[in-house]
Amino acid sequence: MSTIVKTEAVVLRSIDFKETSKIVTFYTRQFGKIAGMVKGARRPKSRFGTSLNPMSYVSLIIYKKEGREIQIVSQCDLIKPFRHLSEDIEKMAVGMAMIELVNIVTPEHAENAQLFLLLVNSLSSLNHAVKNPSNLLFYFEIHLARVLGFQPVLDHCVTCKKELKKINDDATYRFDIAKGGLACKRCSTAPG
């Protein structure tokens, strides 16, 4: 049995399917990332208009069924058009990088309202930005790491746990990406 649900979403990706349909990846406020089938989306005079373009901020109605990989989209309407994102090439590049990052780092069906709000607010700020839109990408990346629970360890070694300022090894630290923080010189050069 499927239920009819309504949620806000940002369009991450949109691909053509069969003759007239599209399969669209949405980042939703309530359900995290989901894929939806939009039947008839590519018909001339489709009622979906530009709402299925990447970076669109939309109100979505879906027939949602647990365990179904691709949900059925019944309605998709623009909440607020971010017009400048499609008119300004630099803004478009930054906005596309933001949604691509979200697409890459999020698993399906993992709700994260903070991430949703960060994405909507960042696209909105980008839309209104008057200069240096690329600075917003840096801001977005830092906050994305935070809302995903990635807080780099900077005060002690991620391996031996010693406080970094107390280790006397000429203060040479390396960033250990796998462990998510700084490692002291001894640990970062030790074999294995």
Binding mask 138-167 for Zn ion (x = CB under 5 A): -------------------x-xx-------
Indicate whether 190 belongs to the interface with Zn ion (CB under 5 A): no
CB nearer to Zn ion: give 86 or 159.
159
Q: How far is the CB of 176 from Zn ion (least distance, A)?
A: 10
Binding mask 68-107 for Zn ion (x = CB under 5 A): ----------------------------------------
Size of the site for Zn ion (CB under 5 A): 5
Q: How far is the CB of 187 from Zn ion (least distance, A)?
A: 3
154-162: which pairs have CB atoms within 8 A and are 24 or more residues apart?
A: 154/181, 154/182, 156/182, 157/181, 157/182, 157/183, 157/184, 157/187, 158/182, 158/183, 158/187, 159/183, 159/184, 159/187, 159/188, 160/184, 160/186, 160/187
Provide the 10 A C-beta neighbour count for residue 189.
11
Binding site for Zn ion (CB under 5 A): 157, 159-160, 184, 187
